[in-house]
Amino acid sequence: MAETGKKNRQFRAEVRKVLNILTHSLYTNREIFLRELISNASDALDKLRFRANRNEQPSGGDMPSEIRITIDKDNKTLTIADTGVGMTADELAENLGTIAKSGSEEFLTSLQSETASAPAADDAEKPDASNIVGRFGIGFYSVFMVADKVEVISTPAFGEERGAAVWSSDGLGAYSIEPAGSDAPARGTVVKAHIKGDAVEFLEKFRVESAVRNHSAFMPFPIFLDGERVNPEPALWREPKFSIKKEQYEAFYKALTYDAKAPMDVLHLSVDAPVQFNALLYIPDSKQDFFGVDRDFWGIDLYARRVLIQRRNKELIPEYLAFLKGVTDTEDLPLNISRETLQENVLLRKINQVIVKQVLGHLEKMEKDDRATYLRFWRLHGKIFKLGYNDFPNRERVSTLLRFNSSALADDEALTSLAEYISRAPAEQKTFWYVSAPNREAACMNPHMEIFRKKGIEVLYLFEPVDEFVMEGLGKYKEWDFKSVENATDDALAAFDDRKDALQQASAPLSGEEQEDFDKLLAKMKDILNDKVKEVRVSRRLDDSPSVLVSSEGAMTSSMEKLLKVMHKDDTLPVKVLEVNQNHPLLRGMLKIFKADPEDAMLALMTQGLFDASLLLDGYIREPQALASRVNALLKETATLYADGRGIPR
């Protein structure tokens, strides 16, 4: 039987600890209390609906199932009322006078430890448990962050004893319970918070409305603020797919992301196993600066039973799907457990795995059924998607969806898949060849490309810094290796015949004596360059260019080396092998100069010029003033020789 008369009681010890921590320094986001009180009201309405569906008759007749929030500035109160199942006096004492036992002591211990270790300065960042309130049955107590007194007036909807009771406390260690007066609701619960002086912002309608829309906009019951409904939009992800129109999907996306453009595509997921959840995921129709200002601005909003738990949760999707926008909602998220971190991460990991599988399947279907749309997706989000090379369980599927420009395509807008590359390759080829460059023109001009053009071997063009990490990370695809053209050994393409239309060398082969002189020229060039190069040797890869810098076999490519040097703020020049084309007219001219006078100053100037040009093609330039001086000297000599040859008077 319910108690009669006013009874004063003391909170249990652990509740006093919680109230002390809550009231003093724990939270950086005090509006969480609204989320918790609204969630409690929604739970009460759900319980009423469940029992009514079992033919139990609640008190109050056909009252609407709703939540009403009222602000009274004059009396400095904020009231949240529901028409749910309500509580008896005994239930008020049990539910509000004790804390849920599951994990309570561990929770309190960890919070006290965090609070004790936090800096003492007033402006120091304090531990924020905004996302764990409610997971240990303590959500109600968060109201004391903003209130110095709280009254809970409740009328039970079921049972023999349906008398209304009032629970009241100032949050300092004691509470009272007494019969309610005439202001008791016909059914349900009214929470009246007397707002503190430093929390009067919650007596402003716009502030309360903002908090409700932020955390509880998709509750299953109407929420009214001073008579005006503030959650008119349904939780679209929980609606049947067949009942949702395209316009609704687009409107929800724009409200969620503030994007003026409609999304490119939408995935509506309803999953029952291995974990139950609903998700609404969008592929935006605009690029994101994921490697710049948007670097941390990604993730999927996490809801539990329509209540927002966390914005942009990064555990729900891998980094390479960071272009996705949307929400995920699960009934299974454990909100009242003892080992909450471990179990929660396991659950999110399962959701992550399902989302990845569904998104990859969706993209595969798009690529198969609508190639144009898929290529548009790639141009918008391919730069991010390439990061999937690290997803080892799905590496084969990710590899199939990758796209690149290549030497076999007409322009830099065209794209090819790895499978298409294989279909065009000679039967004996088992290597994907690639070259890194800032654009297609630079890739075509790379001296390392000459032997591949001569042999008719297709080369993938990598325009993004991440691309080489992709190639190294993938390792293989369909038993094919990935290798840079810079690392092609002399015999790597020996098995492939030259193209029939390949240009023949312009210069006649060197005689035996000339070859000996050329070898001496190479030694002289090495002396001139000294420790700037490891070696100067004849190239087997050049056809049109006079020289090229080559890394040692197995070394990283020049583009990768440059990237790492930038990361480590290292501006030293790499020491490589200088390969020269002995059939090039420039080298033949240098041979003539060497034979006439090995100490000719022009020979040194031209050797340094070859080295400078090779450095530039590799993307290095550290001493532009010295380079300009050497170029001017060469131009001076060239102009003089040209004028003398033409008989032009000086």
The residue whose two tokens read 């020996």 is 494
**Higher-scoring residue by pLDDT: 245, 126:** 245
Whether residue 464 contacts residue 402, with contact meaning beta carbons closer than 8 Å, is answered with: no
Q: Per mean pLDDT, which range of 147-156, 170-179, 222-231 is the poorest? A: 170-179
* Cβ neighbours of residue 81 closer than 8 Å, sequence gap 6 or more: 41, 67, 68, 69, 70, 185, 188, 189, 190, 191
Q: What is the pLDDT of residues 401-455, one digit of tens each?
A: 999 999 999 998 999 999 999 999 998 999 999 999 999 999 999 999 999 999 9
| DSSP code at position 336 | S
Per-residue pLDDT, 120: 55
CB atoms within 10 A of CB 589: 12
The C-alpha atoms of residue 305 and residue 275 are separated, in whole angstroms, by 14
The C-alpha atoms of residue 561 and residue 556 are separated, in whole angstroms, by 6
- What is the percent of the chain with per-residue pLDDT over 70, rounded to a whole number? 86
Per-residue pLDDT, 37: 93
Fold of 404-487: Rossmann fold (3.40.50)
Question: What strand order describes the sheet that includes 174-179?
Answer: 7-10, 174-179, 165-169, 147-155, 188-195, 77-82, 67-72, 223-225, 228-229
**Higher-scoring residue by pLDDT: 1, 33:** 33
Q: What is the pLDDT of residues 538-578, one digit of tens each?
A: 998 888 899 999 987 667 777 777 777 667 777 778 889 99
**Higher-scoring residue by pLDDT: 40, 124:** 40
Is beta strand 533-538 parallel, antiparallel or unpaired with respect to 277-283? unpaired
- Of the CA atoms within 13 Å of residue 498, those in its CB half-sphere come to 11
Per-residue pLDDT, 388: 94
Per-residue pLDDT, 489: 84
The C-alpha atoms of residue 89 and residue 162 are separated, in whole angstroms, by 10
Please state, rounded to an integer, the average pLDDT across all residues of the chain: 85
Fold of 236-379: Ribosomal Protein S5; domain 2 (3.30.230)
The residue whose two tokens read 């309610």 is 180
Per-residue pLDDT, 336: 40
Per-residue pLDDT, 547: 93
Q: Is the pLDDT of residue 215 over 50?
A: yes
pLDDT band at 273 (very low <50, low <70, confident <90, very high): confident
What the block records as the tokens of 597 is 């006078």
Say what the pTM is.
Answer: 0.78
Per-residue pLDDT, 80: 97
Q: What is the pLDDT of residues 570-600, one digit of tens each?
A: 777 888 999 999 999 999 999 999 999 999 9
Q: Per mean pLDDT, which range of 22-26, 27-31, 620-624 is the poorest? A: 22-26
Q: What is the pLDDT of residues 62-104, one digit of tens each?
A: 899 999 999 999 999 999 999 999 999 988 888 886 654 333 3
Beta bridge partners of 313: 300
Distances (CA, A) of 406 to 414, 437, 488: 8, 12, 17
Distances (CA, A) of 52 to 48, 64, 65, 190, 562: 6, 13, 12, 21, 70
Q: What residue ranges in 74-187 does DSSP mark as E strands?
A: 77-82, 147-155, 165-169, 174-179
The C-alpha atoms of residue 299 and residue 256 are separated, in whole angstroms, by 13
**Higher-scoring residue by pLDDT: 131, 425:** 425
Q: Which CATH architecture has domain 512-646?
A: Up-down Bundle (1.20)
Average pLDDT in the 167-186 region? 88
Element (H, E) at 44: helix 32-52
Per-residue pLDDT, 114: 56
Q: What is the pLDDT of residues 289-342, one digit of tens each?
A: 877 777 788 999 998 888 888 889 999 999 999 999 999 998 877 654 323 333
CB atoms within 10 A of CB 301: 19
Q: 7-229: what CATH class?
A: alpha beta
| DSSP code at position 147 | E
What the block records as the tokens of 369 is 């059924």
Domain limits of the chain? 7-229, 236-379, 404-487, 512-646
Distances (CA, A) of 117 to 19, 125, 129, 560, 575: 19, 11, 15, 43, 51
In whole angstroms, what separates CA 265 from the centre of its chain? Answer: 18
Beta bridge partners of 153: 166, 190
Residues in the chain: 650
The C-alpha atoms of residue 625 and residue 246 are separated, in whole angstroms, by 61
Per-residue pLDDT, 631: 82
Per-residue pLDDT, 8: 79
What the block records as the tokens of 467 is 């691309």
Distances (CA, A) of 260 to 234, 240, 250, 280: 21, 26, 10, 18
Grouping H, G, I as helix, E, B as strand and the rest as coil, residue 379 is helix
